[in-house]
Amino acid sequence: MPTMQQVMASVEASAELGFKPAGSYRFGEADLIEATRLLLNADRMPRHKHRYHMEEAITTSDFPYLFGVMIDRELLARYRTAGTDFWPYCRRLRASNFNAHTLDRLDGLSEPLDRVGQKGEYLVGVLGDKHYTFQVFKRGRQLDISWESIINDGMGAFTDIPQRMSDSAINTDAYQVTSLYASATGPNALMFGAAIDGIDNVGVLPLTIPNLQTVMSDMAQQPDPQTGLPMGVRGAHLVVPPALEWDARTLLTSSHVQYTEVGAGAGIPVGTSSVIPQMGLQLHVNPWLPVVDVSGDVDTTWYLFADGSQGNAMGYGYLNGHESPEICMKATNKVLPSGAPISQFSGDFETDNIFYRVRVVVGGTQLDPRFAFANVG
């Protein structure tokens, strides 16, 4: 698996000239199937025979583009079906360019309506607004494979390229979204803390049934910043690090809870039904929390988010028209002595290396802190 530094590395191409999108070349399904079977040696040819056919194929002008199309298809297929589960509590954003975009939040107009007398005037409601900014940036990586690897390994080194490129894009999304609500020292101060709209949405409660009930109650009683009336925000998504997964699953699925009697018979444990399973909370185990949060409290820190249908504490998105990872191949800069073109798989003039590049254009921002609570247990 790629390291954190590799996942988040932002590689700026020094020259766009010479790169061709693999997806711009069109081939029939039969061509793609035939090339795929050859790459994977689906016909189980002996190694020497498979190597001969591979060496013959990479000298053709179409094979590099066929390979590029196959990578592009596999990359997009894996990316679109990956298990990123943050969208229920993170707003999907879109940007039309690389400039900073302004997002507006409107408050108010939710209080009970005023009575209007006969021929009376309808009074104007008071509306408040708040502004946020959102901007996307390029992130990517270049991959080069030596010509010797192709010859020696019979293309075996190529078989997991789509998965690795796709995983790097998936990991980029997961890391960036996690960084919106977590930081190296714990819950991200840009979202959690009394300094944000006067909202104190961070505490030190361990993850227990009584504490979860307390946090859900506090979230529901938050006032609208314009009217002062309770918003009734419902906690719907519980996000925990891997270390808290089993505690969280036990808490969300337990049908009974035990408490200690007070007053007469004080100290006697009493069992009763747990209402937590009735609340419809969805559990999200985020393995990137210990990567982003390197404090000593990460294994006991948990987050509660409202569902996106009620409101969003954060937003994350892509450049319009570039919602999926993009892959391209560098055209070779060498030709035969006769001036005839040469296969892309013969590599470049200087090193015989074959170059691919993957790119995503993404960005995120904190939005309304009223729809998220954090506790450093």
**58 found inside a domain:** yes
Domain check: are 212 and 227 in the same one?
yes
Alpha-carbon span 151 to 351, nearest angstrom: 15
Q: Give the range of the structural domain holding residue 45, as residue numbers without chain letter.
A: 4-86+129-181+322-361
Mean pLDDT score, 141-161: 68
Same domain, 327 and 301: no
* Residue 29 included in any domain: yes
**235 belongs to a structural domain:** yes
Beta strands in 155-265 (DSSP E): 182-183, 186-187, 202-203, 235-240, 256-260
Could you give the CA distance from residue 147 to residue 51 in angstroms, rounded to a whole number? 14
197 has pLDDT over 80: no
Q: Is residue 118 part of a domain?
A: no
Shared domain check, 307 and 329:
no
Q: Is the pLDDT of residue 150 over 80?
A: no
Looking at the structure of the chain, the number of domains it has is: 2
In a domain, 300, yes or no: yes
Residue 228 maps to a domain: yes
163 with 302, same domain: the answer is no
pLDDT digits (tens, 9 = 90+) for 206-233: 998 889 989 998 888 887 777 777 788 8
Kindly give the pairing relationship between strand 137-146 and strand 353-366.
antiparallel
Q: Which residues pair with 141 in a beta bridge?
A: 358
Range of weakest confidence among 116-125, 136-145, 155-164, 228-237: 155-164
Q: Are residues 140 and 235 in the same domain?
A: no
Give tens-digit pLDDT for 13-38.
Answer: 333 434 444 444 455 556 656 666 66
Q: In the structure, what pLDDT confidence band is assigned to residue 43 with cuts at 50, 70 and 90? A: confident
Whether residue 338 sits in one domain with residue 307: no
Do 222 and 167 share a structural domain? no
Give the highest mean pLDDT range of 143-147, 149-153, 262-266, 303-307: 303-307
Say if residue 67 is in the same domain as residue 134.
yes
For residue 219, what are its two tokens? 């979230």
Tens digits of per-residue pLDDT, 76-108? Answer: 566 665 557 899 999 999 998 999 887 776 666
- 217 and 257 together in one domain: yes
Sign of CA dihedral 349, 353, 356, 357: negative
Same domain, 64 and 135: yes
Q: Are residues 81 and 199 in the same domain?
A: no
pLDDT the model gives residue 16:
40
Give pLDDT, residue 4.
39
Residue 347 falls within a domain, yes or no?
yes
- How far is 294 from 289, CA to CA, in rounded Å? 8
157 and 276 in a single domain? The answer is: no
3-state secondary structure of 156: helix
Q: Is position 355 within any domain?
A: yes
